[in-house]
Amino acid sequence: MAKKKKSSKQRTDFRKHHQGRVRQGDLTRDFAGGKELADLSHGERVSGKGDLTRKRTVIAESEADAAIAEAELMTGRVISAHGLKSKVMTDDGTMYECAIRQVLKSLSIDGRSAVVAGDHVWFRAQSPQDGMIERVGDRHGIICRTSRGQQHVIVANIDYLLIIASAAQPGLKPVLIDRFLLTAKQCDVEPVIVINKVDLVDTAPLQPIIGAYAALGYRVLMTSAESGMGVDYLRELLHGKQTALAGQSGVGKSSLLNVVQPGLGLAIGRVSTDNDKGRHTTTSSQLIPLAGGGAVFDTPGIRQFQLWDISAGEVAGLMPDVRPYVSACRYPNCLHLSEDDCAVKDAVADGRIDARRYDAYCHLLEDDLLTITR
């Protein structure tokens, strides 16, 4: 009697809209035995334990069969993701336009998308240009924000986060810089602050702000895509690293990349003279390999960056200049806003904490985090 093949089973949560009981209305498909090919192909299927179950069982073939199936897959990195399609580049530079398996889209995840730019994926080639993403590798170094109550992962698997701000057109926004710094700290990514368009202003008024960030250990770089100031240093910084560029619309992210690597030809837009805001020219995150090694991610301009998975009580601990005073407050749950005997407010009054940073802290808590929890 032949031995029965062993299979591995794993119980997993699915998205809520995939859990509800629905009317079995497609009698033709049921009679013909029609199935979702994306779910049943290549040794894996999904089954339920009753109509009202909140989980599904993902059943794979034996380890030997799984190894054979995986050997047939190709590996690559997601260059960009647009809805249900993703552009994937293999190690030899071949480009594929890949769809995503239905089971990956159905799995219960916090993010809006199962695949984002920067992901390492395994896919099955279906033609010289098309493929199907079968598996997504583990992520590290992600940059994300809250969007419609969900985690919106902008990029994944990066080393640096270049926080691009502009000295003018649009003006410098320390509050937005601080939000990116908090996210970088939370995600264990090294931030670098880049102040672009310095050719448009006198840089003397910027020195107190630059000095405040530099004193906290952050690297601050002044650049100009127009004059070339700081471009050589930036090019050397990007060499061999995986780096994401983030900032509001119009600060010159694409312009800087065009200067760092001539010939890219990334679209750039003008800043509106009516409201001093940039227009969106980059519509989705895009991985751009660099000629000297490494890669950069050109991300869409962000006018509002709402933190993900950071509570009001955690913000002070993520700020290196505020953190030393937190434990000295009278109340252990002090938010450093209106409480009595607050060591943080005393440090601000004595000049040990920069007043601009404290204002950004108050703005973040009062306008975003505390409004959500009320």
- List residues forming the annotated binding site for Zn(2+): 329, 334, 336, 342
Which positions ≥6 away from 356 have C-beta within 8 Å? 174, 209, 212
Among residues 164, 158, 145, the alpha carbon closest in space to that of 287 is found at: 158
Question: Residue 184 — φ and ψ, nearest 5°?
Answer: -60, -40
Among residues 200, 136, 130, 195, the alpha carbon closest in space to that of 163 is found at: 195
- How far apart (Å, rounded) are the C-alpha atoms in residues 303 and 283? 13
- List residues forming the annotated binding site: 196-199, 247-255, 329, 334, 336, 342
DSSP string, 22-85: -----HHHHHHT---HHHHSSSEEEEESSTT-SEEEEEE--HHHHHHHHHT-EEEEEEEEETTE
- How far apart (Å, rounded) are the C-alpha atoms in residues 136 and 41? 17
The token duo for 257 is 């990349």
Say if residue 10 is exposed, middle or buried (CB neighbours under 10 Å; 0-12, 13-18, 19+). Answer: exposed
- List residues forming the annotated binding site for GTP: 196-199, 247-255
